[in-house]
Structure 1
Amino acid sequence: MNQTFRVDLRGIVDLLSHHLYTSPQVYARELLQNAVDAITAAHGPDAAARKSGRIVISSADSTDSTGDGSLTVSDNGIGLSEVQVHELLATIGRSSKRDELGFARHEFLGQFGIGLLSCFMVSDSIEVTTRRADEPTVLWHGSSDGSYTVRPATSGEERAEPGTTVTLRPRPGCEHLLTRDAVTELVTHYGAHLPHTVTVDGVRITGGPAPWDRLENEDPAQRRARLEAYCERVFGFTPFDMVDLAAAEAGLRGVAFVLPMPANPAVPAAHRLYLKQMLLSEGAERLLPEWAFFVRCVADTAELRPTASREALYEDSLLENTRDTLGDGLRAWLVRLSRQDPARLREFLRVHHLGVKALALHDDEMLRLVTDFWPMETNVGPLTLAEFRERYGVLRFTPLVDEFRQLAPVAAAQGLAVVNAGYVYDAQIIDRLVTVDRELEAETLRAADLTTHLERLTAAEEQAIAPALAASDRVLARLGCDLLVRSFEPSGLPALYLLDDDTAFQVDLRGAAEQADDVWASILGSFQTTEDPRPRLVLNHRNALARQVLALDDAELRATCLEGLYVQALLLGHHPLRPTDTAVLNQSFLGLIGRAVAGGAR
């Protein structure tokens, strides 16, 4: 046996107020939406005809108020017949903006047939007085307990013209939401840019220009001043620049305001979005591509679909295409800036380089822009990749910041220019640049590679230090380090500690496995290589102190000095000290002091 669902209206209202809508204040938006849609149905899609639409709101403080705190919202829209009142107002989920009214669904703001229910969040009863064309006036009264009545209007209750009036009486605790100040603020917030005449207690709310409008006889300087004032008032900052946005497929017009300060790319950008000139959301996300976190925009759309709560956009192919189109507009602005005002582009990049670099990973034009205009850190001073390539030919870089700090001074002394590609996106940008430009020669310089650029000792020099070298090797082997002797600049640097990322990983694995139980040691062991990579301590044979240490006859003193040079190289390379290294630091420092004191006493 077929049966129909029974709906608990109080439960539905609770669901709306706690889970669909973020605040009971949205009742004002839904009443405006219904009035605007009624005007649209009455006057058709012609924008000029819609301007004759009127929405008259009387608050609880109005001189025409009945004194019971009620709010009325009247429009001169299409109105409803008695049959439509029964069919549409009393059926949850059936939208009154249906095709039978003569227009396609996308002409209307509301689509879900639940907007009027939001009024139950502030009122226990809703009264609707409506008249359609030559039909008689009908009164509908709905209660939050799920009951409703419909009757013809009596003398004195009729409407003089087609349209609808909605009357709300506040439920206990919601009186403040129906006062003049509250209603004026809410209606201004949601409907200030509507094309119709909207008044609250006789004061007009609409009529001012929208930010996306281009006014006649307004020169660029005046428009810029108007938009800057809007941005300061709404978003709270003076924009670095402004970019007009448009997406014809979505019927979208808008303005993007470029932030004058860095933005966190991990925090989604929130934009102010209108649907057919009525505020949809102050925090619309994913309207722009993720890389465009450096702008905040205000826009009006005619075609993008809202969610049921009308506080966000429905994710579909149209929104995806619109996002790409708006991203193209921002990209074109950056290209324009690079050609017309390079200095201003550099100023922009100093603040928002992360967004542009993210875009450069898959956009050739942005890749060129980053290559030509963004100065990267190198060991010969800040240089763009284009300047570095022009001066040094080979694009030599290191992908880790810590490694760059180790290598930078030594590489520079050997005449090797190196780019620090350890910051976000830099290494990927260089990799992509090599892919795009086949003539570009790039080379990764790692800590282990630097030794190939250092001068080897002569045969005579190696023979002279051979006895001490074997003993010194054993000292450093206890610290998990290999010893090399090379000649390099600067000669004032006695030792250099070289540890690349792969070796550091294997060293950490071994240390963790030694301290773990058998199960975890077995798991960690599966990640270890068969080789035994070790960091290297490179003694500088051009340094007098290093040569003197190797020439010491006292094996114990030589070991203490080597341990001191080892720890000093760690500190100079900004490497963290293990407990073993800290113990060696104390031991070598105190041992050398002890030797000095003993020598002084003699």
Structure 2
Amino acid sequence: MNLHSPESAATEPGAHAAPGSAPTEPGAHAAPGSAPTEPGAHAAPGSAGVPSVNSFQVDLRGLVDLLSHHLYSSPRVYVRELLQNAVDAVTARLAHDPGAPQRIRLTATGDAVVMQDSGIGLTSDEVHTLLATIGRSSKRDGLENARQEFLGQFGIGLLACFVVARQIRVVSRSARRPDEPPVEWLATDDGSYTVRTLPHDAHPEPGTTVRLEPRPGAEEWARPDRVLELARDFGSLLPHDVTFTGPDATDRPVTERPAAWDRPHPTPTARRVALAGHCSRVFGFSPLDSIDLDLPVAGVRGVAYVLPAATSPAHRAVHRVYLKGMLLTDRADNLLPDWAFFVRVVLDTDTLRPTASRENLYDDETLAAVREALGVRIRQWLAELAAGDPDRLASFLAVHHLGVKSMARHDADLFALMLPWLPFETTDGQVTLDEFVRAHPHVHFTRTVEEFRQVSPIAAAHGLGVVNGGYTYDADLIALLPRIRQDVTVSELDAGAVTAQLDPVEPRQELALAGFLATARTRLDSLGCDVALRAFQPVTVPALFLDDRQARHERDRAAAEEGADSLWTDILGALRGSAPRARLVLNHNNPLVRRIAVITDADLTGTAVESLYGQALLMAQRPLRPADTSLLNRAFLGLLEWATHPVAGPRADTSEEGDK
């Protein structure tokens, strides 16, 4: 796909075709009898049945609009393209002549932006081939030996500059053919260009000068302060020195090498302070700590900054990535494993591939390997803190224990290393599992926070060791515990285990309350709940609602069966198993329960038991089913009715004899 020149092929340098040969320039016509090969060529007269061969034509304005709205995120990338072409040209000349000068100068006056370099330059033929052909790159043709040093890889070249430019003028002189005169390529955003040779003194030294004139509406991108800001953002780590000159003719450095992580410092503390300042400038926060990312095998070097405040694992972290010293993106979101959400990274790489827009990383096998290597380095840093700097580790875990728990789920060695440091909520308080298992070699855990909060006071009072597994990753880590501590067993807490830890009521007393228990069980049977009587602490808790995962599944199945049609009722009925039911454990030590137990009015007893059931459900923070809500309303209104219209005569035996 070529940009068409208004000149004929015969007037352009190097465009003359040999007699009888096929023409090679846009717009040229084939010699009689030959097969046409260029845009607009036609079959020779009399060649019936022979199809003409044509090339696609390009609407440059349409293509630039496509680039600006769909490929590039912002017109700001034109500065990157200018820097990239200049750096690649200097790199190519150094491969040809290691002693060549390395000069790159960017100038902005407001009316124009000019880039000058002492690079390899172009001949007249190369100007036609490389500047006017979309997708063509010198890095594909004749310079393969230095390709790994180049920044550009897609051959779009100066086309991106039309995102802001009305006209582009390129004057270049080849370092490989210094005897040839300089050549000028002048293109406008309507898709036309001209090429002409210039006198030798128009560009006396090898290299290239590119001049852009902004189009109406894009003048802000040519402002000197804006151009300098963009140049420093994109090119601060480039391998060749770049200077900027504004309207005041003062030279300002664009490059700032070595990188912050490579600069020498007198002490480790001084280095940490310097890196903290760099993080504040780049990311806008003062880091909790910094992690060196010096991985030559992976082709990356940089630093990871630890966030000073906790962040959600679901938040997509973004990082700053340079490719061979050129800023590729400051929003790379696929650089680290998902668990490493507590760091922000800035690094330089020469191994990773950019996307076509050169604004993100191409997700391939190489990136996957680098991602894994960076994850290993972050885990190694944690191990170093655990071994040699426990105070810094404690400060880190106080903020980011969730991220470490996420890592430890898939790394038993890391979990063993962090065991003395990671906090968990338990019946012994906020302690590490290492401390907890010393007192409780058999560990019980709950699946939900609500379940733990309900049973923890009772379990603590009776010496039952329970860990809250309702927080993110905690249940997975608790299940992993026996793999690293052979003397520890783990099981999920169920209603039977809790009930077994509670003190039984004396058989004589339980037998005396058989009628009360029968009434209670009858009232709650339709709700899928059994009733048990135990004596436990604290005495202020009248009733405890217990269920486990199997019991909840059975309740959900029964609820679904009630609302299903006949077909689904049969299917759900077939799924009915022997799972344990939920259990309401009444506390015989509680004075209110003891008074309710001796009420002689069966209806009032049932209403009181329903009230205890509802209160226990609310304390357990269980979601209420329609049947539970109906029961709570009925019990509340029933107690109000009884309180305002008490039954005549004695309602309860509250004497000490009644408790015996």
- TM-score normalised to the size of structure 1? 0.92
Whether 2:169 is the aligned partner of 1:127: answer yes
Cα displacement string for residues 65-97 of structure 1 (whole angstroms, at most 9, x for unaligned residues): xxxx22211100110111211221122112122
Aligned counterparts of 1:344 and 1:498: Cα–Cα separation in 2: 42
Asked if 1:85 is matched to 2:130, the reply is: no
Task: Choose the corresponding residue for 1:153, options 187, 198, 208.
Answer: 198
Asked if residue 242 in structure 1 is aligned to residue 287 in structure 2, the reply is no
Mark the CA change 1:95 to 1:518 in structure 2 (over 3 Å): closer, same or farther: farther
C-alpha change, 1:45 and 1:339, in structure 2 (3 Å) is farther
Deviation (angstroms), 1:163: 0.4
**Structure 2 partner of 1:470:** 518
The one-letter amino acid paired with 1:361 is R
Conserved 8 A contact 2:64-2:159: yes
Q: How does 1:244-259 map to 2 (within 5 A)?
A: 244-259=292-307
- The answer for the alignment partner of 1:556 in structure 2 is 603
Gapped regions of structure 1 (runs ≥ 5):
62-68
Distance 1:49 1:468, change over 3 A: farther
**How much does 1:469 deviate?**
2.4
Change over 3 Å in CA distance of 1:250–1:493 after alignment to 2: closer
Matched-pair contact (CA < 8 Å) for 1:41–1:102: no
Structure 2 gaps of 5+ residues are 1-50, 650-660
Pairwise CA distance, 1:241: 0.5
Give yes or no for contact 2:261–2:275 (8 Å, CA) kept in 1.
Answer: no
1:22 to 2:40 alignment: no
For residue 23 of structure 2, what is the aligned residue in structure 1?
Answer: none
Give the counterpart letter for 1:382 in structure 2: Q
Aligned to 1:195: 239
8 Å CA contact retained: 1:73, 1:167: yes
8 A contact 1:211–1:298 mirrored in 2: no
Q: Is the 8 A contact 2:416 2:484 kept in 1?
A: no
Report the alpha carbon displacement of residue 323 of structure 1 after superposing the two structures with TM. 1.4
Q: 1:200/1:212 Cα in 2 relative to 1: closer, same or farther (>3 Å)?
A: closer
Distance change in 2, residues 1:486/1:324 (3 Å): same
1:481-539 Cα offsets, whole Å, 9 max, x none, are 2212223333332211112233223323433443455577677x379424475321111
Residues 109-120 of structure 1 mapped to structure 2, 5 A cutoff: 109-120=151-162
Residues paired across the two proteins, number: 591
**Kept in 2: contact 1:211–1:230 (CA 8 A):** no
Residues 587/45 of structure 1: CA separation in 2 closer, same or farther (3 Å cut)? farther
Q: Map 1:275-424 to 2 at 5 A.
A: 275-424=323-472
Alignment-derived partner of residue 142 in structure 1:
187
Query: What residue is the counterpart of 1:72 in the other structure?
Result: 114
Report the alpha carbon displacement of residue 139 of structure 1 after superposing the two structures with TM: 0.9
> Do 1:45 and 1:107's aligned partners in 2 also have CA atoms closer than 8 Å?
no
SS class of match (1:296): strand
Aligned match of 2:138 in 96, 104, 107? Answer: 96
- C-alpha change, 1:34 and 1:433, in structure 2 (3 Å) is same
Please give the secondary structure, in 1, of the residue aligned with 2:435. helix
Q: Is the 8 A contact 1:92 1:114 kept in 2?
A: yes
Q: Indicate which of 53, 60, 65 corresponds to 2:109.
A: 60
Distance 1:361 1:498 in 2: 29
Q: Deviations over 1:133-191 (max 9, x none)?
A: 213211112233333222111465x2111100111111111122112122111111111
State the secondary structure of the residue aligned to 1:356.
helix
Report the alpha carbon displacement of residue 460 of structure 1 after superposing the two structures with TM. Answer: 2.5
299-308 or 551-560, larger mean C-alpha shift: 551-560
Q: Describe the SS at the equivalent of 1:173.
A: coil
Quote the Cα distance in structure 2 between the aligned partners of 1:527 and 1:232.
Answer: 63
In 1, the alpha carbon distance for the partners of 2:62 and 2:646 equals 92
Q: Deviations over 1:169-226 (max 9, x none)?
A: 1111112211212211111111122232322224222353444443346433332222
Q: 1:492 to 1:49 in 2, by over 3 A?
A: farther
Correspondence for 2:589? 542
In structure 2, what residue type is equivalent to 1:60? Answer: T
Does structure 1 conserve the Cα–Cα contact (< 8 Å) formed by 2:131 and 2:157?
A: no
Aligned to 1:232: 280
Contact 1:506 1:528 in 2 (8 A): no
SS at match of 2:280: helix
The 10-residue stretch of structure 1 (177-186 or 159-168) with the greater mean CA deviation from structure 2: 177-186
Deviations 1:337-393 (A, max 9, x none): 112222321221121112111111122332123321012001121121111111222
Instruction: Give the 3 Å change call, closer, same or farther, for CA 410–203 of structure 1 in structure 2.
Output: same
Q: How far apart are residue 593 of structure 1 and its match? A: 4.3
From 85, 94, 99, the counterpart of 1:43: 94
Q: Does the 8 Å contact 2:72/2:357 carry over to 1?
A: yes
Decide whether aligned partners of structure 1 residues 535 and 224 sit closer, same or farther in structure 2, where only a CA change above 3 A counts: same
Partner SS state of residue 227, structure 2: helix
Cα separation, 1, equivalents of 2:143 and 2:134 = 18
- Label 1:100 to 1:109 Cα distance change in 2 as closer, same or farther (>3 A): same
* Matches of 1:217 and 1:476, distance apart in 2: 74
1:351 corresponds to which letter in structure 2? V
C-alpha change, 1:590 and 1:101, in structure 2 (3 Å) is: closer
Counterpart selection for 1:173 from 211, 217, 225: 217
Partner of 2:581: helix, strand, or coil?
A: coil
Shift of 1:321: 1.5
**1:264 & 1:144 partners in 2: Cα distance?**
47
Q: What letter corresponds to residue 600 of structure 2 in structure 1?
A: D
Q: Once the 2 structures are TM-superposed, how far is the Cα of residue 271 of structure 1 from its aligned partner?
A: 0.8
Corresponding residue number in structure 1 for 2:28? none
* Structure 2 match to 1:65: none
Q: SS at 1:103's partner residue?
A: helix
Matched, 1:11 2:45: no
Q: Distance in 2 between matches of 1:320 and 1:426?
A: 27
- 1:581 maps to 2:628: yes
Q: Which residue of 2 aligns with 1:66?
A: none
Q: Is the 8 A contact 2:260 2:278 kept in 1?
A: no
Superposed CA RMSD: 2.5
Q: 2-side partners of 1:123 and 1:442: how far apart?
A: 69
Give SS of 1:376's match.
strand
Structure 1 residue matching 2:445: 3-state secondary structure: strand
Structure-2 change in CA distance of 1:324 and 1:557 (3 Å)? same
- Secondary structure of the structure 2 residue equivalent to 1:79: coil
Q: Distance in 1 between the 2:619 and 2:364 partners?
A: 55
Q: Distance in 2 between matches of 1:296 and 1:287?
A: 10
> Which range moves more in the overlay, 465-474 or 252-261?
465-474
- 2:598 is matched by which residue type in structure 1? A
- Call closer, same or farther: CA 1:180–1:546 in 2, change over 3 Å: same
Q: Secondary structure at the match of 2:155?
A: coil
What CA distance in whole angstroms lies between the structure 2 residues aligned with 1:71 and 1:456?
89
* In the alignment, structure 1 residue 565 sits paired with structure 2 residue 565: no
CA contact (8 A) 1:99 1:105 kept: no
- Bigger CA drift: 394-403 or 303-312? 394-403
CA distance in 2, matches of 1:226, 1:256: 14
Whether contact under 8 Å (1:448, 1:500) holds in the other structure is: no
Q: Distance in 1 between matches of 2:284 and 2:343?
A: 13
**Deviation (angstroms), 1:448:** 4.2
SS of the residue corresponding to residue 86 of structure 2 reads helix
